[in-house]
Amino acid sequence: MSPEKMKELLCKAVDKRAEEIKAIGRDIFAHPELGYREHRTSELVQKNFANLGIPYRAGISITGVRGELKGRASSVRVAVLGELDGLICPQHPYADPNTGAAHACGHNAQIAAMLGLAMALVETGLLSELNGDVVFMAVPAEEAIEAEYERKLLEEGKIKFATGKQDFIALGEFDDIDLALMFHSGGDEKKVKVGGTHNGNIKKFVQYRGREAHAGGKPHEGINALNAALMGLLGIHAQRETFRDEDYIRIHPIIIKGGDAVNIVPSDVRIDMQVRGASFQAILDASRKVDRALEAGAMAIGAEVEITNSPGYMPRVDCPPLSNLFRDNAVALLGEDAVGETGHRPSSTDAGDLSQLIPTIHPYVNGAEGSFHSSELTFVDEDLAYVMPAKLLGMTLIDLLCEGAKKALACKASYKPAFTKDSYLAAWEELVAK
Ligand SMILES: [Zn+2]
Ligand SMILES: [Zn+2]
């Protein structure tokens, strides 16, 4: 069968299930869960795999699920990813009142489209025409926003990394994967954006320790850890003019504990922080300046500071031949004017880590409206947000695996990984130790 015919059959099958796909997107949007606790969403994925007769494993990195469909030959293995987690955004209209979780980053669309593609591939039986396997991965915890909860899971040995794709890498779930496809929802002027790069980052957990005293009666006997922290933060701000535009440095701390009681001199102040940049070198340079400033705050007040670095995300790199396939399919369905380039994004994603190991694409598909990571984010075009990506991912998959999987093999050949899995794991150890 020609690739064009296969694409036509796939799109028809996706359209046939469109209402079901949109209902999944809506359902997950209304039931957001936080990283490594996406139990309901995980069960929804498992139920769909079971209904489709797709063999799967669950409980990977706590809530992750991995299903698999075999092709005519297993020349290449392609992962299609969807992220399970929401983030903390309590003002969001669909926020969970208990946890504050909300799908303010639109990951619900990824799961809906991934399952939509699975439905269409099963229904059409197209994989019997293709020289490769498809591995569906529902992956937890892309956002990595709960420093203390992540530390607890790490200490308990339940995870090895704070984000799901990193943990999947460490567990060996990507060892047998050649290429990875995913998308993120967008709300830009172009309906689809392809290619581009992302910042990486290092995470910092900062704890200032001072001495308690009566805040009204005898403050002179205390050591004010909050004042030390504030001086540390001011020191960071004073260095912003030293960051080069091309390095896209972003440093954004939040104080997660400011003291114990208003009438006690604060003795335990905690800060959660990410230091982002476009390259490892830039991140390390900014990270050293941040540490210096934080230490200076402690020194000024006579407090103590402990800085714990941990892996954030690696910068994302693109695989242009793979992105071009996705672009061509987007142009075919939506027209040239609807498709643009992502460019460099100063935000970060753990798709960055994956992109350093295997060819990975992370295009954007619209359908959402309102600022991402805010209570405004909502979906206004469900066909574009949930249904269209299933088609675009599926068409790209057909391109990759048809005709002896020659395009997949060409993408692999053009790609020079920055790391092996072992050198990747070692690199993170080294980066956070500096
Ligand atoms: Zn996201
Ligand atoms: Zn996000």
Averaged pLDDT, 106-132: 98
CATH level 2 (architecture), domain 3-197+315-431: 3-Layer(aba) Sandwich (3.40)
The answer for residues whose C-beta is within 8 angstroms of residue 290's C-beta and 6 or more apart is 204, 236, 239, 251, 273, 275
User: For residue 234, which amino acid is it?
Assistant: L
Averaged pLDDT, 300-312: 96
Q: Place 114 in a pLDDT band, splitting at 50, 70 and 90.
A: very high
Smallest-distance ligand from the CA of 186: 1
102 φ/ψ angles, rounded to the nearest 5 degrees: -150, 150
Distance 90 CA to ligand 2 centre (A): 15
**Which pLDDT belongs to residue 401?**
98
Give the model confidence (pLDDT) of 152-181 as tens digits: 999 999 999 999 999 999 999 999 999 999
Query: How much is the pTM?
Result: 0.93
Tokens of 159: 């995870």
Distance 139 CA to ligand 2 centre (A): 14
Say what percent of the chain tops pLDDT 70: 100
Q: How far apart are alpha carbons 226 and 267 in whole angstroms?
A: 7
Distance 126 CA to ligand 1 centre (A): 30
**Which pLDDT belongs to residue 384?**
98
| The pLDDT of residue 432 is above 90 | no
| The pLDDT of residue 147 is above 90 | no
Distance 81 CA to ligand 2 centre (A): 15
The answer for residues whose C-beta is within 8 angstroms of residue 398's C-beta and 6 or more apart is 3, 6, 7, 10, 126, 130
Distance 286 CA to ligand 2 centre (A): 22
* Mean pLDDT across the chain: 97
Q: Place 106 in a pLDDT band, splitting at 50, 70 and 90.
A: very high
Smallest-distance ligand from the CA of 83: 1
Q: Place 37 in a pLDDT band, splitting at 50, 70 and 90.
A: very high
| The pLDDT of residue 363 is above 90 | yes
3-state helix, strand, coil in the chain (%, to 5): 45, 20, 35
Give the model confidence (pLDDT) of 213-269 as tens digits: 999 999 999 999 999 999 999 999 999 999 999 999 999 999 999 999 999 999 999
Distance 371 CA to ligand 2 centre (A): 11
Distance 322 CA to ligand 2 centre (A): 23
Distance 259 CA to ligand 1 centre (A): 32
Smallest-distance ligand from the CA of 111: 1
Nearest Cα neighbor of 22 from 119, 97, 155 is 119
Q: How far apart are alpha carbons 353 and 350 in whole angstroms?
A: 5
CA angle 325–70–331, rounded 5-degree value = 15
| The pLDDT of residue 434 is above 90 | no
**Which pLDDT belongs to residue 231?**
98
Distance 184 CA to ligand 1 centre (A): 7
- How many residues belong to the chain? 434
Distance 143 CA to ligand 1 centre (A): 7
Query: Got the DSSP string for 344-411?
Result: EESS--THHHHHTTS-EE--EE--EES-TTSTT-EES-HIIIIIHHHHHHHHHHHHHHHHHHHHHHHH
Distance 130 CA to ligand 1 centre (A): 31
Q: How far apart are alpha carbons 143 and 379 in whole angstroms?
A: 19
Judging by DSSP bridges, how do beta strands 64-69 and 56-60 pair with one another? antiparallel
Averaged pLDDT, 59-87: 97
Distance 209 CA to ligand 2 centre (A): 32
Q: 200-313: what fold?
A: Alpha-Beta Plaits (3.30.70)
Could you give the dihedral angle defined by the CA atoms of residues 156, 158, 163 and 164, in that order, rounded to the nearest 10 degrees?
180
Any idea where the domains of the chain sit in the sequence? 3-197+315-431, 200-313
Range 137-153 burial, b when 16+ CB lie within 10 A, else e: bbbbbbbbbbbeebeeb
Smallest-distance ligand from the CA of 82: 1
CB 179 within 8 A of CB 79: yes
Range 199-208 burial, b when 16+ CB lie within 10 A, else e: bbbbbbbbbb
CB 197 within 8 A of CB 316: yes
In SS3 terms, 124-190 reads as HCHHHHCCEEEEEEEECCCCCCCHHHHHHHHHCCCCCCCCHHHHHHHHCCCCCCCEEECCEECCCCC
Nearest Cα neighbor of 299 from 231, 358, 351, 367 is 231
**Radius of gyration (C-alpha) of the chain in whole angstroms:** 23
207 φ/ψ angles, rounded to the nearest 5 degrees: -125, 120
Distance 85 CA to ligand 2 centre (A): 9
Distance 106 CA to ligand 2 centre (A): 8
Smallest-distance ligand from the CA of 81: 1
3-state secondary structure of 247: helix
**Which pLDDT belongs to residue 431?**
82
Averaged pLDDT, 359-386: 97
Distance 222 CA to ligand 2 centre (A): 40
Edge-first strand listing for the sheet containing 268-277? 250-257, 268-277, 200-209, 304-313
